[in-house]
Structure 1
Amino acid sequence: MFRNIWFQLHWFFGITAGVILIIVGVTGGMLSFQSEILRLMNPGVLTVTVPAGAEKLDPTELLRKLQREFPDRTVNSLTLHTGANRSASVNLASADPRMRRGETRYVNPYTGELLGEVKGQSFFSATMRLHRWLLTDEFFHNRTLGKQIVGASTVLCILLSITGIYLRWPRQVSSLKVWLTFDLKRRGRGFVWDMHAVLGTWVLIPFLIMSLTGLYWSYGWYRNMLFDISGVPRPAARVMPPPAAPEATPEGVAPAQRGGEGSERTRPEGRSGERGSGAGRESAAPSSAAIARELGVVWTSFQEASQGNFSQVQLRIPQGNGQEVSVTYQDARPQHERANNRMTIHPVSGEVTLHDRYADRPLNVRLMGSMLPLHAGSYWGLPGKIIFMVASILMPLFTITGFMLYFERRRHKKAALAIASEARQADADENAEPLLIAYASQTGYSESLAWQSAATLQKHGYNISVKELGSLSASDLGSYSRALFLVSTFGDGEPPVSARPFVRLMAEGDLALNGFEYALLAVGDRQYELYCKFGHELDAWLRDHGAVSLYPMVEVDNGDPEAIARWQQQLASFPVAGSALV
């Protein structure tokens, strides 16, 4: 009974959340290689042609060129790459209140020339908003609505994964063949079932990881719970974040302004009210030369402290006032796109006052700071990224095959109910000999055959009871002298979910069935190696406990009409009520 409840819940969860999970899965897969796709789409912007014999400009030279290009705007940060053909990027303060993180432009690191706009960013931006909020921010001006729908569907995805693996749990737990075998030669329902169940087992772990990490962005209480469980302090809330590079640029550089780090506010040049760091500092805005000089000190100190072991670095631009400057960088071979190291450097003395390396942090801190790579699979490198992308893109497959299996079950169930309704309308003599017709069905097909058999045998004078096999107890079985059994086998020799309680009864009891007569029809699919296995197991169990088979067991391969005709012939010769036992 408990297993059957989970079976019904699994179908309900899939039908309820299926369409939303298709959207979230496909968009997630599309975003997996966003950075790589954008670089391919934007040669000459995100990548540059390397001039023969040229060297990249020093950050101070690059800054001077940018200051001449944008004399009225503050340069917040520079992002540099060690890759020869990678563009540099600059983050500029913006007067537009909607651009609180500033404006990012791309620069040729060899010449300082400003490059064009990045094509495809608006598409990936819309894809991300569809992935996270179902575009409710655009259509309803309400992110919360979409976020709640996606969050609820993600919870149902977790329940689908758990109930699915519970329902799939085979009796031969240690057999990898049972768990992971997929036969492309199968057809019909067997092929659909394999795609749904076997492929679902393959992607179970990615689905669970993606779902459990995805809730981090859906629910604040869940995010806080993760911080509390991991023992990592919750990041301080920021009312007005300072301008910085976008949180996920095409290069994958995370902003330096995270967790309260680098909290100073940058101000446009030429404005008074600068934040001084020592006595006697004047309120006038620092000169471009002072800013460039401090940047040179920071750059030299960074190179010495990092020992040249970096692939990309984001330099917060000093403001010429002696305040410490934050630097965010990644190792030459970072574990993933968020494996950021941080430095704090004094721009006058060049002293490194903080050097926080990702690799040196405790595991719990690394995990909580790597939620996006965990969600995208990049935490495990390129193989993990590919696996998670494929799992995401496969989401429609599970929804579609789930609906196919559901509607097939509904069709058989509807047919069974129609036949059952007709059979129940016939008058039955309650004092007549009782006859049990027990069925075990995964799709409803065996149930419909059971009711058809009941209708056929009504003229034989029995008081017929049609029951689900899993609902029978030992005493129930002992109260009949004759019975029909119509049982299905699905997967690799597994009994239907509803029959599991009776399987336990078969394993437990010493039930005496001496003189008990029966006929048995076994439904299966010959594409599977263990064809009709449950039917053979039930037949052997009945014989071992003294029961007598009236006819040879009939095996039905995928609704084979010839096999059904043989079963009907057996029913036609079935003993009438009150006749002597054979």
Structure 2
Amino acid sequence: MKKIFRKIHLWLSVPFGLIISIICFSGAALVFEDEVMELCRHDLYYVKKVEATPLPIGQLVEKVTVILPDSVSVTGVSVSSDPDRAYQVSLSKPRRASIYVDQYTGEIKGKNERAAFFMFMFRTHRWLLDSMKPDGGVFWGKMIVGVSTLLFVFILITGAIIWIPRSAKALKNRLKIVMNKGWRRFWYDLHVAGGIYAIVVLLVLSLTGLTWSFSWYRSAFYKVFGVEMQQQPQHGGQQQEAKTEQKRGEGKLNGKGERADKPQNIFASWQSVYDVLSQQNPDYKQITVSNGSAKVSFDRYGNQRAADSYTFNPGNGEITDIKLYEDADTSGKIRGWIYSVHVGNWGGMFTRIITFLVTLFGATLPLTGYYLWIKRSWNKRKN
């Protein structure tokens, strides 16, 4: 029976091994993207000097709106519990665009732009540098990544079956990586023993990653947890609604022909909402206030997208509804957990380091496998 699994393991690995290495390596490169960016652009993410009191959010937003084109509007402000971190002001477009502002001086520090290296790695990891076809054609890059990841699951499982030793003595040898008996033995042990040490994490990363590749898999994955998938709203819907509301407010004129609601008045309620929520949640990690809604996240283990949601009256900042994370719908929780587990941040820095190391090692498994296969084939030809 092991011979069959050995053949399956080999003939799935040979054509897809290189793609799997690329997916794993690019994924490892993204694990510490935030830390690398903050190290390289510390002046963008952090203020120069912490003052006693930040400027009102309305005043900061006014400074941002002055430099924006008419087609772009402010959709939200994110405030960190760390007083050294600059405020992040979200924009209506392009998608996920934002500007960092020094909350003590009002200085516009710059746009939040993904570095070319990390954008390259992200597009490689998700789509092999392909892009969605405007005419709705096959998204080949995404398809190849999805198929390769799915086959990687079978490669890992068949590899584990092949690895199963026949005796306790053999088990001991299968778990050791010997470094003093030549390169071939070292690469063999690294592939076999190292693979078995990393298999659980690699399986988890593969199974969670597949939810971004195939809708049928995503539906089945959610169904395991008793959740039926619902149609997700299109991206930008909430931003467009917020933008429309903002433009409506900006368009109102008073008796003198001037705008009745200037930006600082439109967003004045945001400051009062933040003040209330920060007082009610002294252990918050970040508070994001947008048009009529707000979210409070905490620095805790588990789902890193977990947040309490609030609805407020944009006119006076009165909180009208509260939806705690523990009462949120299961699908939203699962979606957050999938992301947190896949990127490895669910357990803090420790799990992120483990994810980085295992993913990086996962990129070497096909390479060591190729080496052993070529070496074995070469020896057979010589004999």
Indicate whether the TM-score tops 0.5.
yes
Match of 2:229 in 1: 234
Match of 1:74 in 2: 73
* CA-CA distance at 1:362 after TM superposition: 8.2
Which of 318, 322, 339 aligns to 1:372? It is 339
Give the Cα–Cα distance (whole angstroms) in 1 for the partners of residues 382 and 264 of structure 2.
Answer: 85
* CA-CA distance at 1:50 after TM superposition: 2.0
Task: Give the SS at the match of 2:110.
Answer: coil
| TM-score, normalization by structure 2 | 0.86
* CA-CA distance at 1:14 after TM superposition: 1.2
Q: What residue identity is the alignment partner of 1:196?
A: H
Residues 138-287 of structure 1 mapped to structure 2, 5 A cutoff: 144-172=139-167, 177-239=172-234, 241-242=236-237, 244=239, 264-267=241-244, 269-271=246-248, 286-287=261-262
* CA-CA distance at 1:289 after TM superposition: 4.9
Please, which runs of 5 or more residues in structure 1 have no aligned partner?
245-262, 275-283, 319-324, 417-582
* CA-CA distance at 1:208 after TM superposition: 0.2
Task: Give the SS at the match of 1:342.
Answer: strand
Q: Is the 8 A contact 1:45 1:116 kept in 2?
A: yes
* CA-CA distance at 1:181 after TM superposition: 2.2
**CA deviation digits over 1:513-532, x for unaligned, max 9?**
xxxxxxxxxxxxxxxxxxxx
Give the Cα–Cα distance (whole angstroms) in 2 for the partners of residues 285 and 174 of structure 1.
Answer: 83
Give the Cα–Cα distance (whole angstroms) in 2 for the partners of residues 146 and 71 of structure 1.
Answer: 35
**CA deviation digits over 1:356-388, x for unaligned, max 9?**
22x565887633322121112212221111111
Residues 376-455 of structure 1 mapped to structure 2, 5 A cutoff: 376-416=343-383
Which of 92, 105, 114 aligns to 2:99? It is 105
Q: What residue identity is the alignment partner of 1:378?
A: N
Give the helix-richer structure, 1 or 2.
2
The count of corresponding residues between Structure 1 and Structure 2 is 373
Q: Is the 8 A contact 1:232 1:364 kept in 2?
A: yes
**CA deviation digits over 1:110-136, x for unaligned, max 9?**
112111345762221121011111012
Assess, with a 3 A threshold, how the Cα gap between structure 1 residues 47 and 309 changes in structure 2: closer, same or farther: same
Match of 1:57 in 2: 55
Task: Give the SS at the match of 1:165.
Answer: helix
Task: Give the SS at the match of 1:330.
Answer: strand
Q: Percent identity?
A: 25
Q: Is the 8 A contact 2:18 2:367 kept in 1?
A: no
Give the Cα–Cα distance (whole angstroms) in 2 for the partners of residues 395 and 334 of structure 1.
Answer: 25
Higher RCO, Cα 8 Å, sep 6+: 2
* CA-CA distance at 1:219 after TM superposition: 0.5
* CA-CA distance at 1:70 after TM superposition: 4.4
Task: Give the SS at the match of 1:369.
Answer: helix
* CA-CA distance at 1:223 after TM superposition: 0.7
Task: Confirm or deny that 1:330 pairs with 2:297.
Answer: yes
Please, which runs of 5 or more residues in structure 2 have no aligned partner?
252-258
Q: What residue identity is the alignment partner of 1:328?
A: K
Match of 1:309 in 2: 283
Across the aligned residues of Structure 1 and Structure 2, the Cα RMSD in angstroms comes to: 3.1
* CA-CA distance at 1:19 after TM superposition: 0.6
Give the Cα–Cα distance (whole angstroms) in 2 for the partners of residues 211 and 240 of structure 1.
Answer: 25
Assess, with a 3 A threshold, how the Cα gap between structure 1 residues 272 and 76 changes in structure 2: closer, same or farther: closer
Assess, with a 3 A threshold, how the Cα gap between structure 1 residues 175 and 192 changes in structure 2: closer, same or farther: closer
Q: Is the 8 A contact 1:41 1:120 kept in 2?
A: no
**CA deviation digits over 1:237-295, x for unaligned, max 9?**
32452365xxxxxxxxxxxxxxxxxx944327555899xxxxxxxxx985435423322
Match of 2:256 in 1: none
Task: Confirm or deny that 1:355 pairs with 2:323.
Answer: yes
Q: What residue identity is the alignment partner of 2:348?
A: G
**CA deviation digits over 1:55-94, x for unaligned, max 9?**
3233233234334554845311111111122121112234
Give the Cα–Cα distance (whole angstroms) in 2 for the partners of residues 168 and 193 of structure 1.
Answer: 12
Task: Confirm or deny that 1:293 pairs with 2:293.
Answer: no
Q: What residue identity is the alignment partner of 2:151?
A: L
